[in-house]
Amino acid sequence: MKAAWRPLLAEFLGTAGLLCAVIGSGIMGERLAEGNAALALLANTLATVFALYVLIETLGPVSGAHFNPLVSVILGLRGQRLLGTVAAQLLGAIVGAWLAHAMFGLDIVQTSQKLRSGPGLWLAEVVATAGLVFVILRAPATKASALVACYIGAAYWFTASTSFANPAAVLGRMLSDSFAGIAPASAAGFVLAQCLGAGLGWLAARALRDPASSRG
């Protein structure tokens, strides 16, 4: 019987690793790009895509590699299992942000001042999250890690919000006054848009589901 703590540890480590990659590569990209925002975003995107693929491949067999509370809900976690998983993800997001700060010699505890608000950005988060959930539910099991990583990499560039698509990511990035940050005042709008997007992505995947299949 699988130890109950192993999936929780995997979700903690995966979410911490993801947020460390997102925030750390944003800091490094901004420093090296010398004011070129496009180059900084490209560096941020590539590091996130590679890290996400590796984390899903290595931790997926243990926990399913959700790293995202909405994914855990969509994939049917319930009760104590859901609460434990979400707690591990949120704690991992915080630790990942702090780890990135420590590596770059920044104040470990900080709060973002970067406002990200408005109808366009909220719509972008709806689209980003709907697409992510749709890909997760429709991807063949052996290709899920590559498809999810590719989708997130693309969505960094075709969504106005740079595709947070994850309430845990909002929390971690809220605690980083860096390139990837989001101000606390903007967080609620992003999370609400993500919840709506997750529901739409689930509905779209369900509409295309083969009646003979148990997926989605």
pLDDT digits (tens, 9 = 90+) for 105-121: 999 999 999 999 999 99
Global pTM?
0.94
The residue type at 124: A
Those residues with Cβ within 8 angstroms of residue 40's Cβ, 6 or more apart along the chain or in another chain: 26, 29, 30, 32, 33, 179
In this structure, the dihedral spanned by the alpha carbons of residues 138, 3, 93 and 149, taken in order and rounded to 10 degrees, is: -30
Q: For all residues of the chain together, what is the average pLDDT?
A: 95
Query: What domains are there in the chain, each with its CATH number?
Result: 5-207 (1.20.1080.10)
Mean local confidence (pLDDT), 164-180: 98
Query: pLDDT digits over 47-103, tens only?
Result: 999 999 999 999 999 999 999 999 999 998 888 899 999 999 999 999 999 999 999
CA distance 153 to 90: 22
